[in-house]
Amino acid sequence: MHSEVVASRSADQRNPRDLRESSRESSRESRNGGPQLDAVSLAIIEQLQEDGRRPYAAIGKAVGLSEAAVRQRVQKLLDQGVMQIVAVTDPLTVGFRRQAMVGINVEGDTESVADALTAMAEVEYVVMTAGSFDVLAEIVCEDDDHLLDVINKRIRALPGVRSTESFVYLKLKKQTYMWGTR
């Protein structure tokens, strides 16, 4: 899985001195107007995407900072909501045998439906979209009966939900969070 990281962008292959100089010269604002990220912060993120348990000392060596400086930057990135450090599981191995993407058409306020979906424990992913559906929600359930209950009795019962279309996952072929910082 780690081989999926783009080699030319890998933080392991960057010269720490170049990262520090690049960090001083410029920073990059996220597309959504969020915090500005300099080259060093981007390199730290890439290091953690390759291995979320990589020691701060090893990250520091790769990006040219002390362990304490890396620890401070990581905490700032976490506090700003730029990233999360989490354990990603295979749902099948922890008792969730049914996953589905549910396309939802809404009459009225799409945001209120999206907010209600985010409050449901079974809903792992919610995105408001343009196109055939107003909202997409990824659902993770124990079995087909559980999925039916979530869709039929909870999602379809939300005020404003006009219709749903379910896309049941037969086999998960790829799930990765290695997109780097482009």
Question: What's the rounded mean pLDDT across residues 109-116?
Answer: 97
- The yes-or-no verdict on residue 6 having pLDDT over 50 is no
**3-12, 16-25, 83-92, 101-110, range with the lowest pLDDT:** 3-12
Q: What is the pLDDT of residues 36-92, one digit of tens each?
A: 899 999 999 999 998 999 999 999 999 999 999 999 999 999 999 999 988 877 777
Report the pLDDT value the prediction gives residue 23, as an integer from 0 to 100: 45
- The better pLDDT of the pair 109, 14 is held by 109
- Spatial CB neighbours of 126, under 8 Å, sequence gap ≥ 6: 114, 117, 118, 135, 136, 137, 138
Report the pLDDT value the prediction gives residue 16, as an integer from 0 to 100: 55
- Spatial CB neighbours of 23, under 8 Å, sequence gap ≥ 6: 38, 39, 40, 41
DSSP letter assigned to residue 31:
T
- The yes-or-no verdict on residue 121 having pLDDT over 90 is yes
What's the pLDDT band for 130 if we cut at 50, 70, 90? very high
- The better pLDDT of the pair 134, 23 is held by 134
- The yes-or-no verdict on residue 101 having pLDDT over 80 is yes
- The yes-or-no verdict on residue 2 having pLDDT over 70 is no
Q: What is the pLDDT of residues 162-173, one digit of tens each?
A: 999 999 999 888
